[in-house]
Amino acid sequence: MVDTPFTSDVARSARPSGHPLRPITTLRDWLDRLAGSDRLAVIKPEVSLAFELAAIAKRFDGTKATLFPRPGGFVTPVISGLVSDRRWIAEAMGVEPRRVLECFQHAAQNPLPWTEVKNAPVQEVVHREVDLGKQLPLPVHNEHDNGAYITAGLVIARNPSTGVQNVSIHRLQVSGPNRLGALLLPRHTSMFYEMAERSGQPLDVAIVIGVDPMTLLASQAIAPIDFDELTIAGALHGAPLPVVKCITNDVRVPAEAEIVIEGRILPKVREMEGPFGEFPQYYGEPAKRHVIELTALTQRKNALFHTIVGGGLEHLLLGAIPREATLLQHLQRSFPNVRDVHLALGGVCRYHLYVQLAKRQDGEAKNVMMGAFAGHYDVKHVIVVDEDVDIHNPAEVEWAVATRFQADRDLLVVPESQGSKLDPSTRNGVGTKMGLDATKPLDASEMKFKRIRVPGEEKIDPAQVVAAAPASSWRDAIGGNLFNFR
């Protein structure tokens, strides 16, 4: 196996201390956990793959995961909405919700190298001829999507010069029986591909569908290049991830996965891909994009096919938590007073970053904003607030802006900078950053920004203070009969 500079120190503990619960390490365990707590909706068999499946999954998004038996008549069931609540992610990690970012950071700093196995459930069935439309239940999600897409496929590729693997999710358009169109935004897979393409070579890849929640989350880590995200999955599990070599190339894939599609991204080939409904709740525009030619499909005997409905909570949260963890760590390196960060839902869990700061210096909030913009190009608007503001409550953040922010003094605007290509208000990803300093001035008198408070409010238990008599007899309660109050 390939050793990275980050995978040598197996001895270090993989998880921070003090976590009483065990993390979930397999997809089937997670489905059992959801089912056992009424969070898995088993849908009637044979729903249509064209829109109906996505419509049902979306209706349950955030409340229940969905399982579709015999979708469109296929034997392979479809599952969706596996991690559509922040608390579920904490539960799968085995930590309290407030420790999710800390736990993810710890895993990213203490990766566990994977172990290679020879026999893997994901290779129980091997198809050397790939015909996606016949072999997999492929749903069509949004009204104007250009047909069926694979949306929960972890794309694994190896750095052509170092051999170190990378993991990321990419939307994959089904363009033919053994052909996919892919959107590779400018990050690691596209860098590996450019290296291969420069020497006229294809880039071998594996597309892994149906993994446990921690492996899904690890795929979204904002790690340095040549940092194998599967080693973060191992650390989140507290045990090395078993992997197996692909049948037609050298990529190593999670052995416990449900389905693996093997293939290669073709050099010098671009074909039309899109439109496709994306996380900003708009369609990604059609354009000529990368093409993957498929070489084999392997699966479990009774495999499950995972689909993520674009723009749903599952999609948004999977991106949000690893980004928050990385942005928090990145900011705290320069600004130890940064307490917490949150990528708000209204900013599609990518564009709006709320930062909680224990301000010690005037002007500090503006430096924090500049650090945040540099932390990830998707970060577009940053709002910095004081420690007394709950950054997980958008109404509190708005209240801080309403009462502590003055635009002439507290606004930072950075025009013509790199943003998200999927933000339709940018010029192909070139746009403006904005930072709002909603912290109170350090020299303000104590009473000026003192939040009002009724003493004892937090101790009131409504059940204890309500009178026993029903509310309909309120006249009796105030002595109405005595005073003939009608």
Q: Which residues bind Mn ion (CB under 5 A)?
A: 166, 188, 223
Q: Using an 8 Å Cβ cutoff, are 250 and 158 in contact?
A: yes
For residue 335, the minimal CB distance to Mn ion (Å) is 25
Binding flag, residue 41, ligand FMN (CB under 6 A): no
The residues in 252-311 that bind ligand FMN, with binding defined as CB under 6 A, are 308
Cβ-contact 201, 160 below 8 angstroms: yes
171 binds, among Mn ion, ligand FMN, none (CB under 5 to 8 A by kind): ligand FMN
Contacts of 27 (CB under 8 A, 6+ apart): 82, 210, 211, 212, 213, 256, 258, 304, 306
Q: How far is the CB of 166 from ligand FMN (least distance, A)?
A: 5
Q: Decide whether 136 or 156 has the Cβ nearer to ligand FMN.
A: 156
Residue 166 touching ligand FMN (CB under 6 A) = yes
| Among 315, 342, 404, 433, interactor with ligand FMN by CB under 6 A | 315
Distance, CA of 361 to CA of 150 (rounded, Å): 49
Among 187, 339, 366, 440, binds ligand FMN (CB under 6 A): 187
Partner from Mn ion, ligand FMN, none binding residue 319, C-beta < 5-8 Å depending on class: ligand FMN
Q: What are phi and psi for residue 257, nearest 5 degrees?
A: -65, 170
The binder of ligand FMN chosen from 103, 184, 320, 379 (CB under 6 A): 184
Position 188 contacts ligand FMN (CB under 6 A): yes
Angle between helical axes of 313-334 and 86-93 (0-180°, round to 10): 70
Residues of span 208-237 touching ligand FMN by CB under 6 A: 220, 222
CA dihedral (60, 63, 69, 74) positive or negative? positive
As a whole number of angstroms, the distance between CA 410 and CA 394 comes to: 19
φ/ψ of 435, rounded to 5, equals -120, 140
Could you please report the per-residue DSSP string of 87-121? HHHHHHHTS-GGGHHHHHHHHHHS----EE-SS-G
As measured in angstroms, the least distance from the Cβ of 389 to ligand FMN is: 28
> Cis bond leading into 5, ω under 30°?
no
Interacting span for ligand FMN (CB under 6 A) from 168-176, 262-270, 296-304, 465-473 = 168-176
Token pair in block for residue 94: 């085995």
CB under 6 A: which stretch of 69-77, 181-189, 260-268, 364-372 binds ligand FMN? 181-189
Quick check: 183 binds ligand FMN (CB under 6 A)?
yes
What is the chain's Cα-based Rg? Answer: 25
Closest approach of Cβ 276 to ligand FMN, in Å?
8
318-337 residues near ligand FMN, rule: CB under 6 A: 318-319
Quote the least distance from Cβ 218 to ligand FMN, whole Å. Answer: 9
Q: Which of Mn ion, ligand FMN, none is residue 232 near (CB under 5 to 8 Å by kind)?
A: none
Which residue's entry shows tokens 């129980």? 124
CB 121 within 8 A of CB 243: no
Alpha-carbon gap, residue 24 to 21, rounded angstroms: 9
Our CB check for ligand FMN shows the closer of 136 and 365 to be 136
Beta bridge partners of 351: none
Q: What are the beta bridge partners of residue 204?
A: 264
169 binds ligand FMN (CB under 6 A): yes
CB of 257 to ligand FMN, least distance (A): 16
The answer to whether 419 and 459 have CB atoms below 8 angstroms apart is: no
The Cα-based distances of 470 to 452, 464, 475 in angstroms read 32, 14, 11
Residues 68, 70, 73, 75, Cα dihedral to 10°:
130
The region of 98-106, 121-129, 185-193, 402-410 touching ligand FMN under the rule CB under 6 A is 185-193
Question: Rounded to whole angstroms, how far apart are CA atoms 342 and 281?
Answer: 20
In sequence order, the β-bridge partners of residue 356 are: 340, 385
Q: Report, in Å, the least distance between residue 168 CB and ligand FMN.
A: 3
Report the residue number, 49 or 207, with the smaller CB distance to Mn ion: 207
Looking at 67-75, 77-85, 179-187, 242-250, which segment touches ligand FMN (CB under 6 A)?
Answer: 179-187
**Residue 141 or 404 having the CB closest to ligand FMN:** 141
Task: Identify which of residues 245 and 315 has a Cβ nearer to ligand FMN in the complex.
Answer: 315
Of 3-11, 107-115, 141-149, 183-191, which segment contacts ligand FMN by CB under 6 A? 183-191
Q: Which of residues 115-154 bind ligand FMN (CB under 6 A)?
A: 151
- Contact residues: ligand FMN, CB under 6 A: 151, 166, 168-171, 183-185, 187-189, 220, 222, 308, 315, 318-319
